[in-house]
Amino acid sequence: MTTALITGSTAGIGAAFARRLAADGHDLVLVARDTDRLRGQATELHDRHGIEAEVLTADLAEDSGIESVAARLSDRKNPVDLLINNAGFGNKGRYLDVSMADELKMLKVHCEAVLRLTSAAAESMRERGRGGVVNVASVAAFVPRGTYGASKAWVVQFTQGAARDMAGSGVRLMALCPGFVRTEFHERAGMGTDNIPGWMWLDADKLVAAALQDLSRGKSLSVPDPRYKTLMGVVKVTPRALLGGITSRTGRKYGPQ
């Protein structure tokens, strides 16, 4: 039986990955900051699907948290076959309205943690000649909009570059770029969603199903919905200055989770 490790597993896209992978018979390593919530999730998934669900409490904004997850990914005796780097958050406010401490925390979670955890997983997977990594980015990666979009653009570029370097190794790496998903993300960040059109909202479970299908096909980039595929096509031919104005009206956070 294979094992998947999911960061930010207790809510949103991470929870949807946990539900789907457990239903498919994968054992899980569930990673988040809230131990009680993790234990409840692990018990539910074990009872419902008969899989083993390990709990790993870690704050990926801290070196100690990153190190503990990296150590689990490097464990050769209990290997992880699939890594879902999903943990992330948004900051409310424009550039210079957000404290430097919060901006650096975002980069820690979205960039440094993704780099270190992907590297720990990929090295172990390459030795076995198989494995997969999904790094959750966002359609925000393709529009000029603050630190969130910039950090997700880094995730896309890093993942696709690493995927090319790992070609032929048996290890697949993919950046997942959803749009708006109905989760706790915006509420936790204190962001309103009234100005977001209904057609832009995605279902987390359908999103995960499409993402896993794209991973199985060997894609290094997944935009898992026809609506957002079309929107990203428009973005490619839209002047950057105009995009900046549009995303300003939509809100600083333009993306998933």
Question: Quick one: which of 110, 120, 113, 95 has its CA closest to 154?
Answer: 110
The owner of tokens 């708006």 is 180
> Is 148 a residue of the active site?
yes
| Helix %, strand %, coil % of the chain (to 5) | 55, 15, 35
Q: Say which DSSP state 62 is in.
A: S
- Answer left, alpha or beta for residue 9, where phi above 0 means left and psi between -120 and 50 means alpha: alpha
Question: Quick one: which of 75, 62, 56 has its CA closest to 9?
Answer: 56
Alpha-carbon distance of 138 to 211, in angstroms, equals 13
- Answer left, alpha or beta for residue 131, where phi above 0 means left and psi between -120 and 50 means alpha: left
CB-based contacts of 41, cutoff 8 Å, min separation 6: 9, 10, 15, 18, 30, 53
Question: Quick one: which of 165, 78, 168, 56 has its CA closest to 119?
Answer: 165
Residue 149 tokens, joined:
């979009």
Which residues have a catalytic role annotated? Answer: 148
